[in-house]
Amino acid sequence: MSVVRVAVCGTGSFGRNHLRVYRELEIAGSPVALVAAVEPHPGRAAETAQKYAIPVFGAAAELLATDLAIDAASVAVPTVHHHAVALELLEAGIDVLVEKPIASSLAEADELIAAAERGARILQPGHLERFNPAVLAIEPRLRRPMFFEAHRLSIFTPRALDVDVVLDLMIHDLDIVLRFANSPVREVRAVGLPILSAKVDISNVRVEFESGCVANFTASRVSTERVRKLRFFEPARYVSVDYARQDLLVIEVDPAVAAKVMAALAAGVVGGAGGFAAAEAEPHPTAGMSFLKPEVTPGEPLRLELESFLESVRTRKEPHVTARQGRAALELALEIQKSTEAHARRAGLNKG
Ligand SMILES: NC(=O)c1ccc[n+]([C@@H]2O[C@H](COP(=O)([O-])OP(=O)(O)OC[C@H]3O[C@@H](n4cnc5c(N)ncnc54)[C@H](O)[C@@H]3O)[C@@H](O)[C@H]2O)c1
Question: How many angstroms does the Cα of residue 175 sit away from the middle of ligand 1?
Answer: 20
Ligand 1 atom nearest 302 alpha carbon: 1
How much is the mean pLDDT over the chain? 93
Q: Are 215 and 195 in contact (CB under 8 A)?
A: no
Helix (H, G, I), strand (E, B) or coil at 274: coil
Residue of 14, 20, 39, 80 to test ligand 1 pocket, by largest number of atoms within 8 Å of CB: 14
Q: How far is the CA of 248 from the centre of ligand 1 (A)?
A: 30
CATH number for 4-128+301-320 (one of 3.40.1710.10, 3.40.50.2030, 3.20.20.10, 3.40.50.720): it is: 3.40.50.720
Apex 290 CA angle, 285 and 296, nearest 5: 150
CA–CA dist 88, 63 (Å, integer): 11
Q: For residue 59, give the ligand 1 atom closest to its CA.
A: 32
Query: Could you tell me how many residues make up the chain?
Result: 352
Q: Whose CA is nearest to atom 27 of ligand 1?
A: 77
Distance from C-alpha of 338 to C-alpha of 190, rounded to nearest angstrom? 9
* Span from the CA of 87 to the centroid of ligand 1 (angstroms): 16
Q: Which atom of ligand 1 is nearest to the CA of 167?
A: 43
| Bridging pattern class, strands 214-220 and 202-209 | antiparallel
Rounded Cα–Cα distance for residues 178 and 76 (Å): 24
Q: How far is the CA of 197 from the centre of ligand 1 (A)?
A: 18
H/E stretch holding 115: helix 106-118
Domain ranges in the chain are 4-128+301-320, 131-300+333-345
Distance CA 230, CA 135 (A): 10
* Predicted TM-score of the model (pTM): 0.92
Residue with the smallest CA separation from ligand 1 atom 18 is 12
For the stretch 163-220, pLDDT in tens is 899 999 999 999 999 999 999 999 999 999 999 999 999 999 999 999 999 999 999 9
Distance 263 CA to ligand 1 centre (A): 57
Distance in Å, CA 77 to ligand 1 centroid: 3
Range with the poorest average pLDDT among 51-55, 168-172, 283-287:
283-287
Say how far apart CA 237 and CA 255 lie, in whole Å: 10
User: For the segment 70-100, what is each residue's pLDDT rounded down to a tens digit?
Assistant: 999 999 999 999 999 999 999 999 999 999 9
CATH number at 131-300+333-345? 3.30.360.10
Atom of ligand 1 nearest to the CA of 44: 39
Dihedral pair phi/psi, residue 293, rounded to 5°: -120, 85
> Strand 247-253 vs strand 237-242: parallel, antiparallel, or unpaired?
antiparallel
Summarised one tens digit per residue, pLDDT across range 103-117 is 999 999 999 999 999
- Domains 4-128+301-320 and 131-300+333-345 belong to one CATH topology: no
281, pLDDT greater than 90: no
CB within 6 Å of ligand 1 — which residues?
A: 9-15, 38-41, 44, 59-60, 76-79, 81, 85, 99-100, 126, 128, 159-160
Question: Whose alpha carbon is nearest atom 37 of ligand 1?
Answer: 41
What is the pLDDT at residue 250? 96
Q: How far apart are CA 274 and CA 212, in angstroms?
A: 36
How would DSSP label each residue in 71-88? SEEEE-S-GGGHHHHHHH
Which of 17, 62, 77, 108 has most ligand 1 atoms within 8 Å of CB, for mutation? 77
48: pLDDT strictly greater than 60: yes
Alpha helical stretches, state H, 201-318: 255-266, 275-279, 301-315
pLDDT at 265 over 90: no
The preferred substitution site among 13, 19, 132, 303 for testing ligand 1, maximizing ligand atoms within 8 Å of CB, is 13
